[in-house]
Amino acid sequence: MFNGLFKKTKYITVSQTPAGSVPKNTSPIENEEEQKPNIPNGMWVKCECCGKAIYKKDLEKHMMVCKDCGKHFRLPALDRINSIIDEESFIEFDKELLSSNPLNFPGYENKLEALKEETGLKEAVITGRGKVNGNELVIGVMDSRFMMGSMGSVVGEKLTRAIEYATYEKLPVVIFTASGGARMQEGMFSLMQMAKVSSALAKHNEAGLLYIPVLTDPTTGGVTASFAMLGDIILAEPGALIGFAGKRVIEQTIKQSLPEGFQTAEFLLEHGFIDAVVSREKLKETLGQILSLHGN
Amino acid sequence: MAVLEFEKNIEELSKKIEEFKFFSREHGVDLASEIERMEAKLQSMKSQAYSNLTPWEKVTLAKLIERPTALDYIERIFTDFIELHGDRSFRDDPSIVSGIGKLNGKAVTIIGQQKGRDTKENLKRNFGMPNPEGYRKALRLMKQAEKFGRPVICFVDTPGAFPGIGAEERGQGEAIARNLMEMANLKVPTVSIVIGEGGSGGALAMAVSDEVWMLENSIYSILSPEGFASILWKDSSRAKEAAGVMKITAEDLKAYGIIDRIIKEPAGGAHKNVDETAENIKKALEEIIPKLCENEIEELLNKRYSKFRSFGEYKE
């Protein structure tokens, strides 16, 4: 497989886009242009934290964590499920739930179509049931590659259905958050998803069932201000950006720059808003432990 | 009183009528028929202008410094109001006022987001942008209402939850989230009325209620039209256009079923006649509160759940 690498006619390029971050341009045409000079794109990636070039296969082998500095890159939802859920135990829910365009916002449908093609996802969350080290649970995993994991009607509906199912089946819920917040293109329908998911969690809570949000990079806005913060036990990945308001908005409002490490997982731990920061390699074991402590 | 863009012609004609009246009095000239004609014209101009407000004009009205605030309504609608302070954890947030009062002789808990009525008061009230302790004070009062079986009435009027360092350190997201979950399950009747700006999660944190109403010229949105235009079009000067696209008026949100009722305002906006606006709110509350109280609490909670459960549009 390395044959091609040493031919003079081919270039090994470090991707211009840091691994795990979402490309700025999402329309297919712009992407095509962006990718042309980078063939074979993505064999090597530059760690956005320590600056080292990492062979992509190595990075994937280490669940997208930089071996050198421990930086946790964003993880696609399916990879997350594979890394957490016991083999062959995952059953996906509501695969065919798709966004419509309630406000008739110009260009929204095209954007959705382009993202479906690019990411292979149908929306910004995957839900289902499965097992973690033998413990049954309902799981939701958000994917920041799909419109920055923003919460529109479909994200809200899929999560609500999953939580309702868990309440009915008396199962714990684990949600991996990764979201910029509201789906602007759906306006007030998006805002109402916060109330909808929180209402479903209220019932799950009343039933005495366990809910664990795991906050991953980034968790902000309406997701932080709803289900991300409503866990019995809240975990977060190292270095994840977690906050309510965006940094730029805060800086513009208070006219001063923000302290180092503001709105990171560690910052939230220090201020008492999460229970623990857990590295990716320990997450499955930790979740399994918490689930078994709750007698599941 | 502020003269808005769409009121300029009306203002000019009103002035002219006043001049004619003055002239007629001073010089003993009978101008009654002219004045009558002009007044009729003024009326029709008013109803024309005020009944066809664009979404952007409503945004302007909703944010007007003269627009009546929560306290203006509280003092007109309730008797025996006593304000209660503090979240019992950090401090008292002046951007939320809360307390107990009587509606038609029956005790209710009242919570309102409070903007300032001038710059000085606005600084004290933080322009109606609550910090986490504000939402926690609101929640404390709601739980207190639940304990004593009092209905809860919320006045929503905020540009949004405050985006600041302290707010993040003290868990703005957690405070809002907690309110959403607790309101969904609060075992007393709840009514929320958007009286000016309903700014995103900061507004929703006081609006997961059995009945959610909006004053005719108030707005309720995911973010400001300026913010929307700047995020989606990279151009905040297209705010006017955004106000239309975003569907943030009482009329639009009633049509979507996201709010339950629109409360009428006097021609030209709530500030033209605060008493009348307060009376309209009071009448609606007097009608709905006894009805909500008739429900068994389980039934009320189920209805509340089904309402919020139904929001969203998707394909299957």
Q: Tell whether B12 and B142 lie within a shared domain.
A: no
B45 and B64 inside one domain: no
Inside any domain, residue B285: yes
Could you give the ipTM of this predicted complex?
0.93
**Selected residues 109-168 of chain A with any CB under 8 Å from a CB in chain B:** 152-154, 156-157, 160
Same domain, B300 and B163: yes
Q: What's the number of domains chain B is made of?
A: 2
Pair B250, B191 in one domain: yes
Residues of chain A with pLDDT under 50: 1-39, 296
Q: What is the pLDDT of residue A252?
A: 87
Å from A278 to nearest chain B CA? 20
Which CATH number characterizes residue B157's domain? Answer: 3.90.226.10
Looking at the fold, whether B30 and B176 belong to one and the same domain comes out as no
What structural domains and CATH numbers belong to chain A? 12-61 (no CATH), 77-293 (3.90.226.10)
Best of A155, A159, A194 to disrupt the B interface (most B CBs within 10 Å) is A194
**B38 and B65 share a domain?**
no
Interchain proximity B314–A190, CB inside 8 Å: no
Range of the domain at B32: 8-52
Q: Please tell me whether residues B139 and B158 are part of one structural domain.
A: yes
Confirm or reject contact between A227 and chain B (CB < 8 A). Answer: yes
Asked whether residue B24 falls in the same domain as residue B148, the answer is no
SS3 string, B110-147, reads EEEECCCCCHHHHHHHHHHCCCHHHHHHHHHHHHHHHH
Whether B315 is in a domain gets the answer: no
Q: How many Å apart are CA A204 and CA A171, to the nearest integer?
A: 9
Chain B residues within an 8 Å CB radius of A250: 163-165, 168
- Residue B180: list chain A partners with CB under 8 A: 194-195, 198-199, 225-226
Q: Would you say B193 and B218 are in contact if contact means Cβ atoms under 8 Å apart?
A: no
Query: Model's pTM, two decimal places?
Result: 0.90
Cα distances (Å, whole numbers) of residue B235 to A89, A105, A249, B239, B270: 48, 16, 16, 8, 31
Contact A97 B316 (CB under 8 A): yes
pLDDT at A40: 53
Cβ proximity of A242 and A218 under 8 Å: yes
What pLDDT tens digit does each residue of chain B (316 aa) get?
677 888 888 889 989 999 998 998 888 888 888 899 999 998 888 888 888 899 999 999 999 999 999 999 999 999 999 999 999 999 999 999 999 999 999 999 999 999 999 999 999 999 999 999 999 999 999 999 999 999 999 999 999 999 999 999 999 999 999 999 999 999 999 999 999 999 999 999 999 999 999 999 999 999 999 999 988 898 889 999 999 999 999 999 999 999 999 999 998 999 999 999 999 999 999 999 999 999 999 999 999 999 999 999 999 8
Q: Is residue B3 part of a domain?
A: no
Q: Which of B311, B315, B316 to mutate to test the interface with A (most CBs of A within 10 A)?
A: B311
In this predicted structure, what is the pLDDT of residue A6?
44
Residue from B274, B276, B275, B271 nearest B66 by CA: B271
State whether B143 and B192 are in the same domain.
yes
- Looking at residue B1, its pLDDT comes to 67
Tell me: the pLDDT tens digits for A136-195? 999 999 999 999 999 999 999 999 999 999 999 999 999 999 999 999 999 999 999 999
Residue with tokens 């907690």: B178
What does the pLDDT read at residue A186? 96
DSSP per-residue codes, B66-127: TS--HHHHHHHH-EEEEE----SSS---TTEEEEEEEETTEEEEEEEE---SSHHHHHHHGG
Query: A280 and A65 in contact (C-beta within 8 Å)?
Result: yes
CB contact under 8 A, B168 and A245: yes
Q: What is the pLDDT of residue B280?
A: 98
Q: Do B245 and B285 fall into the same domain? A: yes
